[in-house]
Amino acid sequence: MPASEENVKAGLAFVDGLEATGGTAIHDALVAALNLGRSEGRVPIVFFLTDGEATVGPVETPAILSAVEKANAAGARLFSFGVGDDVNATLLTGLADKTRGNALFVSERENIEIKVSALYDQVASPVLTDVTLRVDGAEVHDLHPPRLGDLFKGQQLAIVGRYGKPGACAVKLTGRLGGREVSFVHDARFADGAGRDYLPRLWAIRQVGFLIDEIREHGEKPELVQEIKRLGTRYGIVTPYTSFLVVEEEARLRERFLPPGAPAPDAPEGRRLAEEHDAAVRALDEAERQAGLAGGALKKKSEAGGGAVAGARFAKELSDARTDAGAGVGVKTVDGKTFRLVDGVWRDTALDSPGNAPVVRVTYLSEEYVKLLEDTQLARYLSVGERVAVLHGGKLYEIVP
């Protein structure tokens, strides 16, 4: 309807008469909105606000996404707002991908009016719609986002990808401005290398996100999982399929605490038992000190229980390692290289496939080590710690105590 004063009043009166009954009919609401059609020369935009999961009508995410694709004959852009801390993020990001829109999330501590108003002001001024990108002469692949959205006032499109052929190329951006098609061509030269140091990891993060979305939508396939693991390990990215410290750390802790072949105890329960044991040992230390006993007799007796205490210690330490891995502890990125802390050594992830690189073993803070620091790039890599293993200039440098 035209936004006349009379129609605005009628719309507000209609909204004031609505009553919430506790249901969330996401499927029906989206289909109704997308069936409104399209005016010539205009891009329809739908704002969708939700505070949870679908509970009325079709509720499965694949079914809703499929219905949206079928209903969106007008090519509407869907901007989703997930309000609160209990929303279906997979659905909202999927809706954005299917409609060239965007998904935003507003926590219970944020002001939703500010976020909605800011986005409305932006999308009210489209600059280019139906944007596409083509690169001639560089053999590009794995571009993210794989499908571009629209370009609005005050916004930028950031695209990352890989290319197989360095050299001169033409980057062509095409879109619609009002009712006509316009193109912009930029002559570029792609370097024989990564260019900016941060770009490989930035691309890898986007690629991992894309692969995880593929698994969510189409199911878990071995080749997808393997690629996520490879990228996560190579670039130090925490994913559902990688836990950097834990594989090595679990083996080390098992050897330290458990007898060969012993099953690992339940981690949460082990953490509780280990903490209780630690408190008991501290209490025994204090009792011995006050009683003037020598040699830790009581403490030794308390540890004679053996298996249960050892299992508890193992579970607690492993739980701590998993927590650290999830937080990215033990992973550092310097100038495009990712290092993992393995048995006290900051190890370059490129060493997973080092080839036949000659090994240069150097003692930390020796004259030879100081000489290495004259290479400013190598010096930055060595700054991650005292013990480092890094591939640089075709050589494997090992810094030892």
Tens-place pLDDT, residues 172-227: 999 988 778 899 999 988 887 656 667 888 888 888 888 887 887 778 888 888 88
pLDDT at 245: 44
Indicate the DSSP class of residue 390. Answer: E
pLDDT at 246: 46
Residue appearing with tokens 């969330």: 24
pLDDT at 144: 87
The ranges assigned to domains in the chain are: 5-123, 126-190, 199-235, 244-326, 331-400
Instruction: Collect all residues with Cβ–Cβ distance below 8 Å to 352 and sequence separation of at least 6.
Output: 233, 234
pLDDT at 327: 43
Which of 216, 210, 166, 208 is CA-nearest to residue 188? Answer: 166
265-292 b/e (C-beta count within 10 Å ≥ 16 → b)? bebeebbebbeebeeebeebeeebeeee
Q: Which regions of the chain are under pLDDT 70?
A: 38, 41, 193-197, 242-330, 352-355
The CATH superfamily label for domain 5-123 reads von Willebrand factor, type A domain (3.40.50.410)
pLDDT at 27: 92
> What SS3 class is residue 167?
strand
360-379 b/e (C-beta count within 10 Å ≥ 16 → b)? eebeeeeeeeeebeeeeebe
- Model pTM above 0.75: no
pLDDT at 290: 58
Cα 398 to Cα 261: distance, rounded to the nearest angstrom: 34
pLDDT at 10: 96
pLDDT at 305: 46
User: End-to-end alpha-carbon separation of the chain, Å?
Assistant: 76
For residue 275, what is the enclosing H or E element?
helix 267-291
